[in-house]
Chain A
């Protein structure tokens, strides 16, 4: 009983880490000469407790949630997808091209079509590092990271040149047609239904991983790739599948930014959502349902920060500092482990995957 209690304390360590970072954040707010309690009240009420603020949180949550899932799912197979940012850009580029190419489509075709094409874009962008990992065992962290810059610049080139709207003062594309605009959840706000899609995706992933044989296979590859080969699974296929699905989800995030929020493609439109996704997946320990909560929290910090600045006068940069603290404390909390720390697990998982890949370089070619 007592043991069970201690175990729960450990299980909730991410929560303690977040609370601790808010506590240190309070001290930072104090230094800037404001009342921490007043400021946090403004922040959280502004983010969750009030119509306009909550709509802003939901708007932010859409890309964060999807980007979080884009990291969390491949991680279950032992892969670290740092390429969410690039996949977001390519997804947005693909969906913009589709929307501008067929401006007259009716809504029932336009929106599903854009979503499909945007997901395809993200998936294709993730397919490259996935194939390099599966067949040549090249480090996916480096490849996805570097491909982000290619993607960002590709979009900048597109909207600065061939796609640039006529007379635009700034590199952006033409507006997409009316039939492409994603429905809004809350009247009079920006809150499009993207976050809803994200929640749905999170539940689907949760169910697939927990209850289906596909999920069992993915978990097995992540937990012990040698045993997965022995069980008759193709480790390569699982690597590619999980990366491609992750890329598709990030591509979807990019699509929603275009057809849900900005209605056109801007250069540098994503402010590091793909990287925030890494933090969120990390906060959630790669559990897709926890990703919902973690992304709601991070989105709330972002949107609440504006409210806090307006109402109390605390500079937004304090929130950036708090976000940094969250990362540090959550990382530190992994050192306190009831059994085996998540970080050790994660490192071992990657190590074993790499070993199995070099082993299966022999075996899988044949079969």
Chain B
């Protein structure tokens, strides 16, 4: 069963249209939702969380509508760009008030996370640094013992140390508690480390999805002399960049391209960032 299933989701704004024919987030894995800013990541996540009303389409979480079945919503942790916690409140009061809504609240886990992040519970939420706020948000979201954790750009603006710590805790919790994580970001290096699946959205449409290792395996960056890239051979690459030294291009079918270019070009393993850059350049 999929943790999240989306069918024919449509949402139209003045200058942007979200149009997702189908999107599935597999249960028990970390799925990275990538795409440049303004691609529709936040709109999709807000639609899942019922923070906006789609014009059309169906969204189910563990097979049910998240807003109709509150027992499902009780097992969904959400970390957005904005937490909505009162800036003037002390951390201990926020925790006290939020924990009451969740029957599976885990006080031990909360205390463990707060201690490992060295957060002082008497601190005022609004006076925390951005990194500390995200750490607190994560502690709250994990302490509800979610089955699904949805995060919208949680590591944006965090320094590498806090970001790594954040990702390590996520992985640890996923392994221990059969947690599904759906995680939007444009910092693709985070996903290189921890994602199992990737969904790539661009200009409101899903343009690539699948297992991360398969995606990385099937794609290849090729580098060669610019004379090798002509009208005929460029059909075999997704997009390319040519300069006076030669060309670099991305292909999604390594074996086919090998038949065309053979040993005359260099083949390199791409990162998710490379793939994202070449796909967006294509358009």
The answer to whether A and B belong to the same complex is: no
